[in-house]
Structure 1
Amino acid sequence: MKLVIYQTSDLHGYVYPTNYVTEQPLGILKIGSYMKKDELNYDASLKIDCGDLVQGSALTHYLYKHDMQTNPIIEGLENINYDAYVLGNHEFNYGLDYLNKSYSPVSDKIINANIDGLTLNTKPYKIFEFDGFKIGCIGFTTSFVPNWERPCNIEGLTFNDPVKTYEKYEKELKENCDFIIVCYHGGFEKSIEDNTTPTEALTKENQGSELLEKFDSIDMILSGHQHRSFITKIDNRICSQPLHNGQNFTKIVIDTETKDISYELVDVKDIDVEIDEKLQSIFDDTEAKLQVYLDQEIGHFDRDIVVNDIFDVRLNGHPIVNFLHEVQLEVAKADLSALSLFDSTIGFKKNVSIRDVLINYPYPNTLKILKVKGENIKKAIEKAATYFVLEDGKVTVNIDFLVPKVQHYNYDTFGGLTYEIDLTKDFGNRVVSMKRNGEDLDLEKYYSVVMNNYRASNTSIYPSYEGAEVIGEINIDVSEIIIDYIQEKKNVKTIDNSNYKIKY
């Protein structure tokens, strides 16, 4: 028989083919409509989602804020007849009550081998049988979650090492299955070409390569988390990871008799399918209410501050950068501010709606205030300065921020001071000036620095923050802070001049 396996991951609540500004080729409606039609070409199907499903879009923000009785995103995937779910790290962003409420209808379909303490009725693995051919699917979530998540959102939970956990279950999987699939909300820490060359710091955030190295019993890894786009064979085993927001998905066909396997990533832009009416009907009412909510006008800028070229904004500054620093500094009453621009940043028209804020800041980050020594602030700016490199006299992005995973969000700008970077100098010596209130930043003095909770916690990227004392927390989503700021000001004056200069 021919069995088709579909895998999605990092859908982040993108249902309709839009980012709520322009139409885009992505989303659950197109993917689900394709699956429901395409699976009729095969004898059986298996559908798996590998996490980061119920957070990350304007829709998910709305659902969280409006306490829906059931989560239509889960309801939609059930309409598509998904067989298994893995929890992603972003599933915990809205707290355990929201997670439990969202996933309780599919509690028995969640495969979770390495998170202890969940009240959901999860199972470490599930075995699916197709005419005597048994496929075992074991589920893992990156054990790095406690490094990012607010403690109150994961209280009572333990995130165990996936590699050590697989070892615990390997024997029974081998004895009871013909084919073993690791369904992992995590990625690969080494090159997918040779599985030997590290492509990132080996922090255990991503352990796909380590799983392959240690266990020859694994036949396939369906991964996520890194927002990469690949399907390939590593050590003759199929490994896949779809892009985020439902831009593509995995399709694998197994002939259970001959053991022949074909595989591909299906790009949504290439799908020509009529949207399934029953699937769409699940979302129509919520979508209509969402549009009204998003269009609520909350205030005004004194002019448009639209982003036309985000690379240029990162390099040369922009009023949107000044505005975001202004918000963080005022709400935190901090000396300095650190922040990154997300790829979704489009800036603001003069009249501002909730939609505009959520597009520019789609993530449920909160703010932390750290006590940081001046010399470590300089190290942080030096780290940010490695984002740019000179190639033939032209400024471009350092390959380390692009491969194996695009990480533009790890380039920070800094507010509350003026600083100058010289790209002609070596890494670590590029910061040539840092001034606060007209005087050189004191490298021996401690300053309060406000930044989002991800940056404050993920010190593997900015190690100069490691061990810094947390002297304040603002446990309100940054998007809500921005909305409140604009609503209170009503009319926001833009600041044109950038506080940093990058020479090259």
Structure 2
Amino acid sequence: MKIVIYQTSDLHGYIYPTNYVNDQPLGFLKIASYILNDEKKYDSSLKIDCGDLVQGSALTHFLSKNNIKENPIIKGLEAVNYNAYVIGNHEFNYGLNYLKNAYNQVSKKVINANIKGLPFETKPYEIFDFNGFKIGCIGFTTVYIPNWEQEANIKNLEFLDPIKQYAKYEKELKEKCDMIIVCYHGGFEKSLDDEMIPTEALTKENQASELLENFNSIDIILSGHQHRSFITKIRGVICSQPMHNGQSFTKIVIDTDSKDISYELVDVSKLNDEIDDKLENIFTQIQKDLGVYLDQIIGEFDKDMRIDDIFLARLKGHPFINFLHEVQLDVSGADFSSLAVFDSAMGFSKKISVRDVLINYPYPNTLKVLEVTGRKLKEAIEKSATYFEVEDGRIVVSKDFLVPKVQHYNYDTYGGLEYKIDLSREHYDRVVYMKKDGKGIDMDEKYTIVVNNYRASNTSIYPAYKDCKVVKEINLDMSEIILDYIQKHKKITVNDKHNYFID
């Protein structure tokens, strides 16, 4: 008997093969259409999604604002007969009501061994019986969520350590199953080989390597969260993580007679299957409604500020970055502003639609205003300055921001001041000057800085913000703040002056 396992993760609401600006070789409809054809080759199939499913795209933003009772994304996966779901960290971004509305309809299929208090019933694991061959799937979600998420979105929830929870269920899984699969919305904190050398701070955000080190009963780990792309064996265990936004997915084939197991990551860009009409019909009306919403023109700039080269924008500054700082400073009243330019950023043409805003800022981050000293501000800018290195006379991105995962979102630019960075100097001694209104910033004076909620709470990356007093919380999504700002001002003058200099 041959059993095929398909795993998706971090789809982030990417259903159609588009980012809502251009066609893209990605998305659930392409994956699902392939699965419907491919699974016919095997005796049985098992389909698992490992989280970050219903947040992260223009579509999910629209769904969250329109209080949709039956989430079409879940409906789409159900049309392909998914067997198990794991909750991702971004599932909480739109609040518990959105989470409940999305997953309540499939709560019996949600495997969750380490989150207590969810607003629907779940089970820690599920055992699937294929003519006597039993596969146990246990579900875990990263415990690091309280470090990022707004308190209201995780109220009364408890996140338990996956290591302790696996130990709790290991014996019964071993007794009942021929194979154990860990389905984990979290990643690998150590190298993807038998040496397992730490590749990041061991904060418990990612604990897949720790699971391998502590238990020898696991046959497969299906992971997510890190937006990496790999499938390999570590200490004899098949470990996989597909690329985000439906760019790839895991396929594993088990021959229960010969005991052979084959595995691969399927690259969606190489699929030629026609999109299944019945599947697409699930989304037809919501896609039309979304198109009308996205195409609304809400304001106008006096000139174009498209981003042609995002690396140069991060390095040299850009009118689009200036605009985001203006928005954050306006809504917060802070002295300074800090922000990351996301990989999806394209900048704006003269006329601005809702679509433009959501493509440039797809995440539902809120803002916090922190009290910092001039010294803490310098410390934060010094951290950002480690993003760049000089190799053979060229400025490049530091490998620390590329390996083991790409982390462009951890490089911040700063507004409300002028500053200079000298890359020829050692790390954490690169800031040459910081000035506000032409005057040097006092290291001991107190100032305020507006940052997104992720940066304010995830202080393992930016320790300068640890224990800083929260002066104000702005509990509106940043995309909503941008939309409000544009609709309020209507016609906006582009600021193309540089306020930071890096060489």
Aligning the two structures, in what range does the TM-score lie when normalised by the shorter sequence? over 0.9
Between the aligned partners of 2:195 and 2:447, the Cα distance in structure 1 is 42
Asked if 1:188 corresponds to 2:188, the answer is yes
SS of residue matched to 1:377:
helix
Aligned to 1:39: 39
Tell me by how many angstroms 1:244 deviates.
Answer: 0.4
Aligned to 2:140: 140
Aligned to 1:416: 416
Asked if 1:73 corresponds to 2:69, the answer is no
Between the aligned partners of 1:163 and 1:336, the Cα distance in structure 2 is 41
SS of residue matched to 2:282:
helix
The aligned runs of 1:82-121 (5 Å cut-off) are 82-121=82-121
- The residue type paired with residue 269 of structure 1 is S
- The residue type paired with residue 406 of structure 2 is V
Aligned to 1:122: 122
Q: Is the 8 A contact 1:195 1:209 kept in 2?
A: no
Q: Is the 8 A contact 2:338 2:450 kept in 1?
A: yes
The aligned runs of 1:160-171 (5 Å cut-off) are 160-171=160-171
Q: Is the 8 A contact 1:367 1:476 kept in 2?
A: yes
Tell me by how many angstroms 1:195 deviates.
Answer: 4.3
Asked if 1:439 corresponds to 2:415, the answer is no
The aligned runs of 1:492-503 (5 Å cut-off) are 492-503=492-503
Tell me by how many angstroms 1:257 deviates.
Answer: 1.7
Between the aligned partners of 1:257 and 1:125, the Cα distance in structure 2 is 25
Between the aligned partners of 1:53 and 1:101, the Cα distance in structure 2 is 13
Between the aligned partners of 1:466 and 1:194, the Cα distance in structure 2 is 35
Asked if 1:487 corresponds to 2:483, the answer is no
- The residue type paired with residue 372 of structure 2 is V
SS of residue matched to 2:206:
coil
- The residue type paired with residue 391 of structure 1 is E
Between the aligned partners of 1:351 and 1:494, the Cα distance in structure 2 is 12
Aligned to 1:307: 307
Aligned to 2:341: 341
Between the aligned partners of 2:70 and 2:112, the Cα distance in structure 1 is 22
Q: Is the 8 A contact 1:390 1:423 kept in 2?
A: yes
Tell me by how many angstroms 1:446 deviates.
Answer: 1.3
Q: Is the 8 A contact 2:231 2:263 kept in 1?
A: yes
Q: Runs (4+) of structure 1 moved beyond 6 Å?
A: none
Identity rate, percent: 67
Aligned to 1:395: 395
Cα distance change, pair 195–225 in 1 and its aligned pair in 2 (3 A): farther
Cα distance change, pair 366–500 in 1 and its aligned pair in 2 (3 A): same
SS of residue matched to 2:62:
helix
Q: Is the 8 A contact 2:193 2:235 kept in 1?
A: no
Between the aligned partners of 2:416 and 2:194, the Cα distance in structure 1 is 45
Between the aligned partners of 1:195 and 1:56, the Cα distance in structure 2 is 34
Between the aligned partners of 1:300 and 1:271, the Cα distance in structure 2 is 40
Aligned to 1:384: 384
* RMSD, matched Cα: 0.6
Tell me by how many angstroms 1:275 deviates.
Answer: 0.7
Q: Is the 8 A contact 1:228 1:241 kept in 2?
A: yes
Aligned to 1:361: 361
The aligned runs of 1:315-330 (5 Å cut-off) are 315-330=315-330
Q: Deviations over 1:411-450 (max 9, x none)?
A: 0000110000000111011000100111111110111110
Aligned to 1:221: 221
Asked if 1:154 corresponds to 2:146, the answer is no
Gaps of 5+ in 1: none
- The residue type paired with residue 272 of structure 2 is D
Q: Is the 8 A contact 1:367 1:450 kept in 2?
A: yes
Q: Is the 8 A contact 1:134 1:178 kept in 2?
A: yes
Between the aligned partners of 1:183 and 1:198, the Cα distance in structure 2 is 21
| Farther-moved stretch of structure 1 (302-311 vs 192-201) | 192-201
Aligned to 1:456: 456
TM-score by length of 2: 0.99
SS of residue matched to 1:250:
strand
- The residue type paired with residue 323 of structure 1 is F
Gaps of 5+ in 2: none
- The residue type paired with residue 235 of structure 1 is R
Q: Deviations over 1:309-337 (max 9, x none)?
A: 00000000000010000000000000000
- The residue type paired with residue 480 of structure 1 is E
Q: Is the 8 A contact 1:418 1:434 kept in 2?
A: yes
Between the aligned partners of 1:369 and 1:316, the Cα distance in structure 2 is 26
Between the aligned partners of 1:98 and 1:20, the Cα distance in structure 2 is 22
Aligned to 2:467: 467
Q: Is the 8 A contact 1:384 1:413 kept in 2?
A: yes
SS of residue matched to 2:238:
strand
Aligned to 1:5: 5
Tell me by how many angstroms 1:86 deviates.
Answer: 0.1
Q: Is the 8 A contact 1:182 1:221 kept in 2?
A: yes
Between the aligned partners of 1:250 and 1:82, the Cα distance in structure 2 is 14
- The residue type paired with residue 316 of structure 1 is K
Between the aligned partners of 2:136 and 2:445, the Cα distance in structure 1 is 57
- The residue type paired with residue 499 of structure 1 is N
Q: Deviations over 1:182-205 (max 9, x none)?
A: 000000000002342111000000
SS of residue matched to 1:76:
helix
Q: Is the 8 A contact 2:96 2:119 kept in 1?
A: no
- The residue type paired with residue 468 of structure 1 is C
Tell me by how many angstroms 1:119 deviates.
Answer: 2.5
Tell me by how many angstroms 1:40 deviates.
Answer: 0.2
Aligned to 2:477: 477
Q: Is the 8 A contact 1:316 1:498 kept in 2?
A: yes
